[in-house]
Amino acid sequence: MRLASQPRLRAIDWRRMKDALLSKIHGRTARVGVIGQGYVGLPIALVFAEAGFPVLGFDADPGKVAVLRRGDCYIRHIGPERLALAARSGRYEASGDLDRLSECDAILICVPTPLGKHREPDNSYIHRAAQDIASRLRRGQLIVLESTTYPGTTDGEVRPILEGSGLKTPADFLLAFSPEREDPGNEQFRTRSIPRVVGGVNRDSTDAAAALYSAALDKVLPVSNAMVAESGKLLENVFRSVNIALVNELKMIFDRMSIDIWEVIDAAKTKPFGFMPFYPGPGLGGHCIPLDPFYLSWKAAEQGSWARFIELAGEINTRMPAWVVWKTSQALNDEGKPLKGSRILVLGLAYKANIDDDRESPSYEIIELLQAGGAIVDYCDPFFPEARPTRKHTLAKRSVPLDARVFAGYDALLVSTAHDVFKDDALYRDVKLVVDTRNMVSALTPGKSRARFVKA
């Protein structure tokens, strides 16, 4: 009798606990903790604060916590006003004190997922965050992993770490995966309006995570489980990587036939169905597209499968900086100048236009390859007055001023990032040669500059 009633009591107890969590979510009194206040964690923390939830933003970097606590925002496109407003409302607080995780009803994990030296996934940040939670886990909490990773991470790696605390899901806590789809600088789609996919390691977890995000975001799509949600995010990023590789390869093929890939894409995209334009460039950048697909190819290899599209796309895209440098040396050659000793100004360190994010930016490799060829290289990027050392590159340079007279002093300009500030006819007035990886020329007035534009 006693044995039979205990699980029932536990089930009733759990239902009460789940109802309590849902009622806190609906009343917007559930405290939301976000581990990692980077490009993904900070915007989602602010969205929950703006939706009326009390939010604690945790970061392991004391420098970032100090800046955020002052009400400043170190990510330019988010803007200091949003952060100041959230802080003033009393609903957002940055903290480095992980013991405060126990105050939270829901905890979102937004930590980095880089690649190791041999392009292998590095889930150590996720494991660390899970351990930080496990040692403070209490009954009734909902944990959601947002970092991009291979299928099986939430159920097969995060869950055992959390259950190492002695608590189990769904009886004691809930666990789900919900991929962030942040697109920094995108004015059309913001964190709130980008639909959200959620998948739990069990049904209760999916329901609770869906309820949480629905209280702050416009549209939420629950899927069968965490593995589907993890795989969906990878499909999105593989899709981009493969299509970018396709246009990069076509760019090199068309170049030999003197056909302009940009004009070809403009023509193809007039087809109103069955085509979506992707654009070539100097190589992949950012924390997602250059890295995430390899999480899946690594996992596929573990299962005895080959992810051939992913590997091929990676190979083509990583060749781009070398191709751009080759095109630059050809263009200089046409002017009777060797690469060695030529003065080249690279426009843009950011990996994409109008943002201050230089992670995995191809500009760094381009600069290093140009320097290896003997060129004298500077850069101009108002988003990076100074080039900070990155994991792979130490440039030790400052941006030259955005000034037509400065630009005129170089043998060639190389457009790596199409920041709006570069789309100014006056800047190119006395420039001789522009190697253009972003079709910048299309944003300028024909005839305003005597520069020769070479697309690369």
Ligand X SMILES: NC(=O)c1ccc[n+]([C@@H]2O[C@H](COP(=O)([O-])OP(=O)(O)OC[C@H]3O[C@@H](n4cnc5c(N)ncnc54)[C@H](O)[C@@H]3O)[C@@H](O)[C@H]2O)c1
Residue 454 CA to residue 296 CA, distance in Å, equals 36
Is the CB of residue 428 less than 8 Å from the CB of residue 448? yes
**Residue 33 in the binding site for ligand X (CB under 6 A):** no
Look at residue 182 and give its three-state secondary structure: coil
Q: Which amino acid is at 105?
A: D
Size of the site for ligand X (CB under 6 A): 30
Q: Tell me the C-alpha distance between 368 and 174, whole Å.
A: 47
The piece of 14-22, 36-44, 339-347, 413-421 that touches ligand X (CB under 6 A) is 36-44
Q: Please identify the residue of the shown chain whose CB is closest to the bound ligand X.
A: 38
Confirm or reject binding of residue 40 to ligand X (CB under 6 A).
yes
Active site residues: 288
Which of 33, 41, 280, 373 touches ligand X by CB under 6 A?
41
Residue at 420: amino acid letter = D
Nearest to 155 by CA among 230, 254, 246, 255: 230
The residue among 35 and 313 lying less far from ligand X, judged by its C-beta, is: 35
DSSP state of 345: E
Amino acid at 123: N
> What length does the chain have?
456
Q: Which string of x and - marks every residue 113-152 that binds ligand X (by CB under 6 A)?
A: x-----------x--xx--x--------------xx----
- Kindly write out the interface string for residues 62-91 of this chain, putting x where it contacts ligand X by CB under 6 A and - elsewhere: --x---------------------------
Minimum gap (Å) between residue 30 Cβ and ligand X: 20
Q: Which of 30, 34, 39, 134 binds ligand X (CB under 6 A)?
A: 39
Record the tokens describing residue 313, joined without a space: 């796309």
3-state secondary structure of 196: strand
Write the DSSP string, 236-301. Answer: HHHHHHHHHHHHHHHHHHHHHTT--HHHHHHHHTTSSSS-------SS--SSSTTTHHHHHHHHHH
Q: Which of 22, 51, 60, 84 binds ligand X (CB under 6 A)?
A: 60
Which x/- pattern, by CB under 6 A, does the window 156-185 give for ligand X?
Answer: ------------------------xxx-x-
Contact string 288-307 vs ligand X (x = CB under 6 A) = x---x---------------
Q: Does residue 36 bind ligand X (CB under 6 A)?
A: yes
Please give the residue ranges that form the binding site for ligand X (CB under 6 A).
Answer: 35-41, 58-61, 64, 110-113, 125, 128-129, 132, 147-148, 180-182, 184, 286-288, 292
